[in-house]
Every structure is written in structure tokens, then in C-alpha cells.
């Protein structure tokens, strides 16, 4: 419950000292302590730009790609340098407003000597130096790698936060916090997820491009290197998950728990993402394992771990598994029956096309699915009649499981949203939602794609319902009503509602009682008249 204000109602709080323009710009752009400012988006943008720079630096080593696009690479490099220079200058100019340097005698000098500022300077200096000094291109490229150091500006604070959150926890709990979402993970856990997602995308893109002859011819070695790095990343992640999964109560037994986790779909996907590399590298002398290469595409499934929508759909499918199974069973029956009928009608006329029932079943699937390749088509009148019926039937047949799936998804979403509503109601037991609870709700809201405004609306609704319930259920709570104006109003409203109810059920009896002398006070009569008139007006009696 909100604390009573200590400031007298009619006394305005003292105006804070006016902030300088520099301070306001710092707060808006760079202050990590100000909520909803541009600090986080700017840092994310810089981090992305650094990664793109590293990517560009690597690609520049491929002459076939670099030479025709030399101007584009130079343009990108120049734009990056402009952005990094602007960042450096802005930080340098605004550093006196930064807590760490605010009290210093020469804040800008202190800032310029700080490790982050030195890193920032090192990342842009080679570009400007090359304008004055004839640097070897290879040296320049190596120096440009210094830009990578800028990532420490994001990583070091995240690591400090992680250490703080995990103070006194075990090594295994540290590992668990890195790879699984938890309140102990902080930014590091998000970076870990992003890192894995990045490698999944790189790896899948490599698999796709490897099949393009011209690209693979140029980048065969690069693809081999990328695949090895991706396998190293995914193997480490897999081992980290297997090692730390016992922190989850579901898998708490050291051996059986880990075995249980290893059998989950997520862990199996992780395993399948790396195992082709080992099998292919170790056993290709003995077996032809080229087909395993396509299994690398399974790495794409790793992304499902990071998508809450997938879980939502999967939960919906599991809940409706029986109905979906039944619809597929009906579909199977229709396919086989139509295939058999097709065989019966067409075999005599086209023995080479409708040669057996399995071949006819293929035709049945293609026709019912509205695909119609045309490689097998009926020629007899009965066969054509059947095909026409099947074409119409196919629409309904596909629509049934589609409808069930859509309904299952919608229901699941509704249930999850209702669960959030219940959770809010449970949290409102103490009339207050604290920061932890709010963070929990926000995580749920993100998962279900509920906006902040919608969540705030849900919380407000829960608050109102709670107050109404309280007002109706509880007796007059004068001490509470004295403190909380909203509660007092709800109690007043509750009493008025009760009065309306009483008048509704016993209007005439009350009129007769009120008519007697000395029974009701003038105020009671007045209120009764008012309520009764209102009720009569609304019912038209």
C-alpha cells in the first residue's frame, strides 16, 4: 500500500535546481542510471556496428568479394569511423557529468586516461593516422581489430553485474545462470543467448550458401573454418547445459537428472546440431556420411529455445493432441479410400499410371492437397467425377486440422493471459506489486507479446476488482478507509449498491415503513426517496 505523503497537501515541493544543458544531454544519451533514455539503444547500436566491422574485416580478406565492392567497404569503414568518433567526442564532452569523473579536478583529462576512453581512441586512431602516415595495409587491418576492444564497454559492466548477482553462489550455479534464463543471469545471459543465436544464423547461412556452387567455390575454406567454430561454440553450450541442468529441480539427480535432461527435445536438438561434425570427421573413412551434412540445418531448431511463441504453439498442440490426431486419422482414411477408388476406376484404363493402390494413394494425396502435379490424372468418367469430389473434399479436409491448430493456439494464448491475470490477483494480496513481481510480470508479458500499456491496464483492472471485492466482502474498515481514499470510495459505492439491492427487492415494504411516524429520520427518508426514484426511473415503473 502506498505510503502516506509527508508533504502537506497545500504545500508544493521545492523546485529542484535547474539542470544545465550538458547534464540534460548526458542524462538523455549516456546516463545508465536513467530509465528509458537512449543509453541502452546507443550501446546496442555501437555493439552491432562493432560486430559488423569485424565481419567486414574478415570479408575483406576474400579478394573475390572485396575487390568488386572496394568502394562499399571503404564507405562502410568511413561511416563507422564517423560514428565512433562522434561517440568518443560526445563522451569526452559530457564526461564531467559522469559520476566517476564528476568530482575530479580535471574530469576530461581523467576520462581521456581511463581504459574505456583509451580503447575508444585506439579504435579510431589508425584511420586518422593512415591519412598522414603511409601505413602498410596489413598493419592497418590488424590495428582495425582494436575496434573489437570496444565491446568491453558493454561486456565489463555486464560481467560486474553478473558477479554481483551471483555473489556466494557455486560455480555450477554461475554456469546455470549464464545459459538458462534466471534472475541471476543479467545482461551476460542475454549476451550468451545473442551469441548462440548469432552462430546459429551464421552456421545455417553457411549451409545454405555451400549449396550455391559459385559461392562455395570461392569460400570453401571459410565455410570449413566457420563450421568448426560453430561446432566449438555449440559443444561448449551443450556441455554447459548438461553440467548445470541439475540446478533445475526437475533434473536434480546428478546422473539420472542429466540423462533425463539429455533426452528432452531441446537437448536432443543441441546434440544433433554438433554430432554430424564428429561423425563425419571421424568416420568418413568407413562410411559415406555425406547425408549428415544436411543435419546441420537442424541447428535452426536451436532458435526455438529462444522463441516463446514456439512453446506456446507446442503447448497448444499438446493440449489438442487428441483432436488433432483424430482429424489426421480421418484424413488418412479419406486418402486411402480415395486412392483405392482411384485404382478401381482407372487401373483398367491406365495400368501404367494407376499401377497399384500405393501409386493411387500418391495421386490421392496430391489431389486432396490441391497440388495437382498432373503427372497422374484420371481419364474415365468415374475417375474424373471422383477427382472433382476429392478436390472439393480436400479443402474441408485441410481446413479441419488448420482450424483446430489455430483454435488451440488462440486458446493457449487466452489461458496464458488469464494465468497472468490470476498471477496479478495473487500478487495483489498485499495491495502492492513490488519490483521483483513487476519484473516477473514483465517477463511473462514479453513472452505473450503483451505491451506495457496492456499490462498496466491488467494491473489497474486487478487493483479495481480487488478494491471492489474488499469493499463488498469486508465490513467497514474505518482505519483503512481513512488512509486510502480509493478504498473509502469503493466502500461507499458498495454500500450504495447494497441500498439499491434492498430497494429493488423490498420497495413497497420500505415505503410503508418509511410512512410511519417516528420510524425514519428525514435524512433516511431523503436517501430512500432518492434511491427509490432512481430505481423506478431505470425500470420505468
384 binds another protein (CB under 8 A): no
Least distance CB 286 / another protein (angstroms): 12
Least distance CB 285 / another protein (angstroms): 7
* Angle, helix 186-210 to helix 152-165, in steps of 10 degrees: 130
Grid cell in block for residue 452: 506495457
Here's the x/- map for another protein, 233-272, by CB under 8 A: it reads as --xx--xx--x---xxx--x-x------------------
Least distance CB 248 / another protein (angstroms): 6
Task: Pick the closest to residue 531 from 539, 521, 512 (CA basis).
Answer: 539
- For another protein, the binding residue among 224, 256, 395, 478 (CB under 8 A) is 224
Whole-Å CA distances, 447 to 456, 460, 524, 528: 16, 20, 54, 52
For the chain, the straight-line distance linking the first and the last C-alpha, in angstroms and rounded, comes to 44
428 binds another protein (CB under 8 A): yes
423 binds another protein (CB under 8 A): yes
Answer yes or no: are the C-beta atoms of 261 and 242 closer than 8 Å: yes
Whole-Å CA distances, 149 to 54, 155, 158: 11, 10, 15
Task: Pick the closest to residue 91 from 47, 121, 69 (CA basis).
Answer: 121
Q: CB-wise, 108 or 440, nearer to another protein?
A: 440
**Phi, psi for residue 373 in degrees, rounded to 5:** -60, -35
CA 288 to chain CA mean position, Å: 40
- For another protein, the binding residue among 217, 352, 375, 453 (CB under 8 A) is 217
182 binds another protein (CB under 8 A): yes
Q: CB-wise, 94 or 231, nearer to another protein?
A: 231
Q: CB-wise, 24 or 169, nearer to another protein?
A: 169
Near another protein by CB under 8 A, which window of 144-152, 282-290, 297-305, 342-350?
282-290
Say which DSSP state 287 is in.
S
**Residues 123, 124, 130, 132, CA torsion sign:** negative
Near another protein by CB under 8 A, which window of 113-121, 335-343, 437-445, 462-470?
437-445
Near another protein by CB under 8 A, which window of 37-45, 263-271, 281-289, 506-514?
281-289
Say which DSSP state 518 is in.
T
- What residue has cell string 582495425? 144
- For another protein, the binding residue among 97, 101, 184, 199 (CB under 8 A) is 184
**Residues 51, 56, 57, 58, CA torsion sign:** positive
Q: CB-wise, 368 or 420, nearer to another protein?
A: 420
- What residue has cell string 426514484? 533
- For another protein, the binding residue among 7, 78, 164, 170 (CB under 8 A) is 170
Torsion over CA of 123, 125, 127 and 129, rounded to 10 degrees?
Answer: -160
Give residues with Cβ within 8 angstroms of 91, minimum separation 6: 30, 111, 117, 120
28 binds another protein (CB under 8 A): no
CA 240 to chain CA mean position, Å: 22
- Determine the Cα–Cα distance for residues 353 and 356; give it in Å rounded to an integer: 8
- For another protein, the binding residue among 168, 322, 381, 522 (CB under 8 A) is 168
359 binds another protein (CB under 8 A): no
* Angle, helix 137-144 to helix 39-59, in steps of 10 degrees: 150
Answer yes or no: are the C-beta atoms of 80 and 53 closer than 8 Å: yes
- For another protein, the binding residue among 180, 199, 363, 528 (CB under 8 A) is 180
Near another protein by CB under 8 A, which window of 39-47, 55-63, 277-285, 382-390?
277-285
Whole-Å CA distances, 185 to 40, 188, 495: 18, 6, 50
Q: CB-wise, 279 or 393, nearer to another protein?
A: 279
Instruction: Give the SS3 label for residue 146.
Output: helix
- Determine the Cα–Cα distance for residues 321 and 117; give it in Å rounded to an integer: 58
Here's the x/- map for another protein, 287-316, by CB under 8 A: it reads as -x-x--------------------------
Least distance CB 231 / another protein (angstroms): 6
436 binds another protein (CB under 8 A): yes
Least distance CB 426 / another protein (angstroms): 5
117 binds another protein (CB under 8 A): no
173 binds another protein (CB under 8 A): yes
Least distance CB 171 / another protein (angstroms): 4
Answer yes or no: are the C-beta atoms of 193 and 304 closer than 8 Å: no
Least distance CB 87 / another protein (angstroms): 34
465 binds another protein (CB under 8 A): no
Near another protein by CB under 8 A, which window of 27-35, 124-132, 278-286, 516-524?
278-286
Q: CB-wise, 388 or 422, nearer to another protein?
A: 422
3-state helix/strand/coil string of 192-217:
HHHHHHHHHHHHHHHHHHHCCHHHHH
- Determine the Cα–Cα distance for residues 457 and 440; give it in Å rounded to an integer: 16
- For another protein, the binding residue among 319, 417, 440, 465 (CB under 8 A) is 440
Q: CB-wise, 93 or 415, nearer to another protein?
A: 415
DSSP line for 127-141: HHHHHHS---HHHHH
Least distance CB 447 / another protein (angstroms): 11
426 binds another protein (CB under 8 A): yes
63 binds another protein (CB under 8 A): no
Which spans of this chain sit near another protein (rule: CB under 8 A)? 168-176, 180-185, 213, 216-217, 220-221, 224-225, 227-228, 231-232, 235-236, 239-240, 243, 247-249, 252, 254, 277-278, 281-282, 284-285, 288, 290, 423, 426-430, 432, 434, 436-437, 439-440, 443
Amino acid at each position: 500500500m502506498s505510503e502516506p505523503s509527508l508533504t502537506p497537501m497545500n504545500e508544493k515541493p521545492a523546485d529542484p535546481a535547474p539542470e544545465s544543458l550538458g547534464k540534460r544531454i548526458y542524462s538523455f544519451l549516456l546516463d545508465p542510471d536513467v530509465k528509458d533514455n537512449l543509453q541502452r539503444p546507443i550501446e546496442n547500436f555501437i555493439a552491432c556496428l562493432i560486430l559488423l566491422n569485424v565481419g567486414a574485416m574478415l570479408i575483406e580478406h576474400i579478394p573475390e568479394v572485396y575487390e568488386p565492392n572496394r568502394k562499399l567497404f571503404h564507405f562502410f569503414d568511413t561511416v563507422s569511423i564517423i560514428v565512433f568518433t562522434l561517440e568518443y567526442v560526445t563522451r569526452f564532452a559530457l564526461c564531467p557529468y559522469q559520476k566517476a569523473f564528476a568530482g575530479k579536478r580535471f574530469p576530461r583529462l581523467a576520462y581521456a586516461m581511463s581504459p574505456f576512453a583509451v580503447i575508444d581512441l585506439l579504435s579510431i586512431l589508425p584511420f586518422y593516422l593512415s591519412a598522414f602516415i603511409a601505413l602498410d595495409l596489413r598493419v592497418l587491418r590488424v590495428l582495425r581489430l582494436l575496434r573489437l576492444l570496444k565491446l568491453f564497454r558493454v561486456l565489463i559492466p555486464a560481467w560486474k553485474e553478473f558477479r554481483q548477482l551471483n555473489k556466494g553462489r557455486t560455480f555450477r550455479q554461475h554456469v546455470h545462470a549464464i545459459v538458462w534464463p534466471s534472475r541471476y543471469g543479467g545482461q551476460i545471459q542475454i549476451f550468451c543467448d545473442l551469441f548462440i543465436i548469432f552462430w546459429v544464423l551464421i552456421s545455417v547461412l553457411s549451409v545454405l550458401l555451400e549449396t550455391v556452387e559459385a559461392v562455395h567455390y570461392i569460400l570453401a575454406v571459410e565455410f570449413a573454418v566457420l563450421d568448426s567454430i560453430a561446432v566449438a561454440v555449440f559443444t561448449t553450450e551443450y556441455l554447459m547445459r548438461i553440467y548445470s541442468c541439475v540446478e533445475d529441480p526437475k533434473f536434480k539427480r546428478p546422473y539420472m537428472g542429466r540423462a533425463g535432461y539429455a533426452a528432452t527435445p531441446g537437448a536432443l536438438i543441441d546434440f544433433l546440431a554438433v554430432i554430424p561434425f564428429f561423425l563425419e570427421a571421424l568416420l568418413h573413412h568407413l562410411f559415406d556420411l555425406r547425408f549428415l551434412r544436411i543435419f546441420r540445418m537442424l541447428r535452426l531448431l536451436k532458435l526455438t529455445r529462444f522463441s516463446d511463441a514456439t512453446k506456446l504453439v507446442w503447448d497448444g498442440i499438446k493440449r489438442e493432441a487428441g483432436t488433432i490426431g483424430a482429424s489426421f486419422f480421418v484424413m488418412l482414411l479419406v486418402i486411402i479410400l480415395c486412392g483405392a477408388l482411384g485404382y478401381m476406376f482407372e487401373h483398367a484404363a491406365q495400368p501404367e499410371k494407376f499401377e497399384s493402390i500405393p501409386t493411387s494413394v500418391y495421386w490421392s494425396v496430391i489431389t486432396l492437397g490441391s497440388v495437382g502435379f498432373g503427372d497422374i490424372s484420371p481419364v474415365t468418367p468415374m475417375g474424373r467425377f471422383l477427382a472433382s469430389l476429392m478436390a472439393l473434399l480436400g479443402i474441408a479436409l485441410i481446413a479441419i486440422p488448420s482450424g483446430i491448430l489455430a483454435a488451440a493456439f488462440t486458446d493457449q494464448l487466452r489461458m496464458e493471459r488469464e494465468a497472468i491475470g490470476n498471477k496479478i490477483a495473487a500478487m495483489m494480496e498485499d495491495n502492492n506489486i513490488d519490483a521483483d513481481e513487476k519484473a516477473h510480470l514483465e517477463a511473462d508479458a514479453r513472452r505473450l507479446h503483451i505491451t506495457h500499456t496492456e499490462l498496466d491496464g491488467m494491473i489497474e483492472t486487478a487493483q479495481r476488482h480487488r478494491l471492489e471485492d474488499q469493499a463488498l466482502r469486508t465490513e467497514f474498515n474505518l482505519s483503512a478507509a481513512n488512509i486510502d481514499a480509493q478504498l473509502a470510495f469503493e466502500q461507499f459505492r458498495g454500500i450504495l449498491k447494497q441500498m439499491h439491492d434492498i430497494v429493488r427487492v423490498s420497495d413497497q415494504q420500505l415505503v410503508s415503513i418509511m410512512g410511519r411516524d417516528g420510524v425514519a429520520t428525514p435524512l433516511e427518508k431523503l436517501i430512500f426517496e432518492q434511491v427509490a426514484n432512481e430505481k423506478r426511473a431505470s425500470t420505468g415503473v
